Amino acid sequence: DAGVTQSPTHLIKTRGQQVTLRCSPISGHKSVSWYQQVLGQGPQFIFQYYEKEERGRGNFPDRFSARQFPNYSSELNVNALLLGDSALYLCASSLPGEDTQYFGPGTRLTVL
Amino acid sequence: KNQVEQSPQSLIILEGKNCTLQCNYTVSPFSNLRWYKQDTGRGPVSLTIMTFSENTKSNGRYTATLDADTKQSSLHITASQLSDSASYICVVSDYGNNRLAFGKGNQVVVIP
């Protein structure tokens, strides 16, 4: 069984650039959540999407946006990158009615 | 504000020895508590999940305990192996908001 997949695995950007991260949930999972994990810290909630609608948003600036597609895959966009955006970005999916989340391997973003 | 505090922040143990990780939370109302294992640069993988009515749950050499009255949980690793070197994250589900509160993790290093 394929788990949650994310692409790319690593990414290097410079300040001010824009980035798009992609996530494919486990088959049958309709909910996708995005987390930012800075080195040495626990994951911080960014967004949750369910059935293509935003169901939750964490304390992140408007530079962060996301969307979910009809096939339940999702994209996370970050505009005007800052050095502090360097982190591991995790995507997690879950089944309808369950809050157990299955995490992908993450995308390591480095902003120079 | 919901909080999850983990201790110790990091520890080094000899291969074959046991260790116990602590998690204290203030999330209320409480739905369930999970322990995740996260290898460096990878996504978290679920080890155990407990509801408020469960006191202990095992997964191989990992045993989690929960005291919902004192809002404390522990994860005990028996006969540690080198592959146990990872960050162990305590995650508490907020029943009211259906949100997950993450601890910063316990960094465990097992040495031969």
A56, closest residue in chain B (CA to CA):
B99
Give the pLDDT confidence score for residue B6 in this predicted structure: 95
Give the minimum alpha-carbon distance from B108 to chain A in angstroms, rounded to a whole number: 12
The Cα–Cα gap between B42 and A82 comes to 23
Give the pLDDT confidence score for residue B98 in this predicted structure: 65
Partner-chain residue, chosen from A92, A99, A105, that has the shortest CB–CB distance to B98: A99
Give the minimum alpha-carbon distance from A89 to chain B in angstroms, rounded to a whole number: 9
Partner-chain residue, chosen from B41, B42, B89, that has the shortest CB–CB distance to A42: B89
> What residues in A contact B99, CB-CB < 8 Å?
45, 56
Report the residue of B7, B90, B100, B107 to disrupt the A interface, i.e. the one with the largest count of A CBs within 10 Å.
B100
What DSSP designation does B40 have? T
The Cα–Cα gap between B6 and A75 comes to 31
Give the pLDDT confidence score for residue A56 in this predicted structure: 87
Block residue for tokens 């650039």 = A17
Beta bridge partners of B48: B35
Q: Which residues of chain B have pLDDT under 70?
A: 1-2, 96-98
How far is C-alpha B50 from the geometric centre of its chain's CA atoms?
11
Give the pLDDT confidence score for residue A101 in this predicted structure: 86
Give, in order, the Cα–Cα distances in Å from A96 to each of A30, A49, A93, B76: 6, 12, 10, 31
Question: Is A99's CB within 8 Å of B31's CB?
Answer: yes
Q: Which two tokens stand for residue A4?
A: 């949650």
Contact A89/A34 with Cβ under 8 angstroms? Answer: yes
Short-list B49, B22, B24, CA closest to B35: B49
Output the CA torsion sign for A13, A75, A89, B1: positive
Beta bridge partners of B63: B58, B76
Block residue for tokens 């600036």 = A61
Q: What are the strands, taking DSSP E only, across chain A?
A: 5-7, 10-13, 19-24, 31-37, 44-50, 53-57, 64-68, 74-78, 87-94, 102-103, 107-111
Give the pLDDT confidence score for residue B1 in this predicted structure: 54
What DSSP designation does B60 have? T
Q: Which residues of chain A have pLDDT under 50?
A: none
Question: Is B103's CB within 8 Å of A42's CB?
Answer: yes
The continuous run of DSSP H or E covering A79 comes out as: none
Give the pLDDT confidence score for residue B29 in this predicted structure: 81
Short-list A94, A108, A112, CA closest to A37: A108
How far is C-alpha A38 from the geometric centre of its chain's CA atoms?
13
Amino acid B82 reads L
Give the minimum alpha-carbon distance from B12 to chain A in angstroms, rounded to a whole number: 16
Give the pLDDT confidence score for residue B78 in this predicted structure: 97
For B71, the 3-state DSSP assignment is coil
Q: Which two tokens stand for residue A97?
A: 């009615």
Report the residue of A35, A39, A95, A100 to disrupt the B interface, i.e. the one with the largest count of B CBs within 10 Å.
A100
